A and B are shown apart, each in its own frame.
Chain A
C-alpha cells in the first residue's frame, strides 16, 4: 500500500539552511548539503529546498547548492524559489532536482504551471500555496485566502478555487502551507488541508505548524493529505525537543498509519 510521506523542507539562503518563524527572522543553521545528507541518512522520505531570497534578490536559484545536495541525496528532491521560466525549471532539473515548487510566480503567471507540466510532466510541478484564514464569505467560500511574496501580499484568490485551478492547469501535487499555523508548533491547519484534499485528486502535502508526532498522526487521520512537512520537529532550536525521523515513523506506525518503515541500512 502507498505510504504516507514525511518531507523535510528547508529554507536556504546563500547555501545555508535557515529557519523562519511566520516568515520572519531567518536564523542560519548549517550548510544545505550537510543538512540534506543527515536527513537522508535518517531515512526521510523526501526533501524540499526553498531558495528563499532568490525571488527578492531577482537572481536565479543557487544551482551549485542544488547540485551538491543532489549528489548526496537519493530520495526525491524538490526545489523552489522564484522560478519563473521553463528555462529555469530545466536548469534546476538538470542540476539533479526531481520536482519544481512554484508559489507566488504561479499566481502571477498561471501558465507557468501548464507549460511546466507540458514540458516536464505534471509530476514535476508542485503548486505550493500560502493560505490564510479570513473567514467564510461569498468572496472566500473556503474561508481561506491565497497570499504571496512571503505571505505579505493578499491575492483575493480563494484557496480551494486556486487549488482546483492549479490541478486543472497541470500541477502534480499541491502543498498547502498554513500561514496561521506556520512556526506555532501547535499542529497543522486540519480544516483547509482536508478541504483542499477533498477537492483535488492530486496528492496534497500538509505544511506549517507541526511540533509533535501527534500532529502528523492527526493530519493523516483526519484529512486526505498524502504527505506532511516536518522540518521544525527535526531540528528547530525553538522547540523544547526535536524528534528523529525514526521516532516520528515509529509513532505513526504504532497508530497503524502506513509509513515506509525505518530499516537498518548500512550507508557507509
Chain B
C-alpha cells in the first residue's frame, strides 16, 4: 500500500486523487503507526519549509519516516516542499530541515518573477525506473520560490532552467523527490506517479474504474 502523508498545510488530497485515477491503492496517513505497513511513502508539500517541518514534528512522524526509508529502504517520493525539506537547511525562514541529503535550499534571485509558476521543461540526466515511458525532456508544473542545491551531483536526476539551472528532481537509493507538482502535471506527471507506485509495490485497485489510466 502507498501512503500519502497528510498534514494541514499539504495537498495530500490532490495526490490521492491522482493515484486513484491511476487505479492505485493509496491512503492518507498522519500517524507513525500508519506508516508501518506501507510499501511506498509520498510526502506532498505546499506552503513553507517551516510549516511542513513543524507539522511533521507535531505528528511525531520524523523518526518513523527515517526508520522506513533508511532502515527498511521503503521507496519515498517527496514533492515540492516535500523535496526541499530533505536537505539540511532552507533559507526560507532559516529553517533546519531533515538533512537526509547534504545540501541547502536557496531562493531564486530577483531577476525572475517569484514564485516560478507554470510549466517548465525538465531534462533528465540518466535513465531510472521512475522515468519509464517518459522522454528525455518533459514539461511539468512548478510553483516555487526556492530550489534545492544538493552537495552531491550524483543525486541530481533532472535539471530545469529558471533564471539559472536548478535541480528539479533527485534520486538516491530509495529516495526520490520532484520540485514540480507531478500530481498536477497532466499525462507526464501521472506517468511518473504511476512509475513510482509500481516500483514501490503499489497494488492496482480492482474495485475502482479509472477514467485516466495509461
Determine whether B115 belongs to the interface, using a CB cutoff of 8 Å to chain A.
yes
Closest to B81 in A: A121
Alpha-carbon separation in the docked complex, A123 to B115 (Å): 7
Please determine whether A70 and B14 come into contact, CB atoms closer than 8 angstroms: yes
Q: Is B139 in contact with A3, judged by CB distance below 8 angstroms?
A: yes
- Chain A interface size band reads 35 or more
Closest to B212 in A: A267
B117 CB contact (under 8 Å) in A74, A96, A173: A173
A93 to chain B, nearest CB (A): 7
Q: Which residues from chain A contact B13 at a C-beta distance below 8 Å? A: 70, 94-96
Distance of A117 from chain B, by nearest CB (Å): 10
Known contacts: A74-B18, A98-B184, A265-B186. The answer to whether A172 contacts B117 by CB under 8 A is: yes
In the bound complex, residues from chain A placing their C-beta under 8 Å from that of B143 are 76, 98, 123, 172
A74 and B185 within 8 A (CB)? yes
| A263 and B115 within 8 A (CB) | no
Give the dominant DSSP class at B's interface: mixed
- List A residues at the B interface (Cβ < 8 Å): 1-5, 37, 40, 43, 45, 70-72, 74-77, 90, 93-96, 98, 119-124, 172-173, 201-203, 226-227, 260-261, 263, 265-268
Asked whether B117 lies within 8 Å of A123 as measured between CB atoms, the reply is: yes
Contact B118 A203 (CB under 8 A): yes
Interface Cβ pair total, 8 Å cutoff:
113
Residues on B with C-beta less than 8 A from A121 are 9, 46-48, 51
Bound: A202/B118 CA distance, A = 12
Expressed in whole angstroms, the Cα–Cα distance for A1 and B214 within the complex equals 27
In the assembled complex, B101 has its CB within 8 A of some CB on chain A: no
Hey, which chain A residues are within 8 Å of B14, CB to CB?
Answer: 70, 96, 98
Name 9 A/B residue pairs within 8 A (Cβ), A-sorted. A2-B142, A71-B17, A74-B186, A76-B184, A120-B47, A123-B115, A203-B115, A265-B187, A268-B211
Question: Which residues in window 1-48 of B have CB below 8 A to A?
Answer: 8-9, 11, 13-14, 17-18, 20-21, 46-48
Give the distance in Å from the alpha carbon of A202 to the alpha carbon of B113 in the complex: 5
Residue of B nearest to A173 (CB): B117
Residues in A neighbouring B189, C-beta threshold 8 A:
74
Knowing A98-B11, A123-B46, say if A2 contacts B119 (CB, 8 Å). Answer: yes
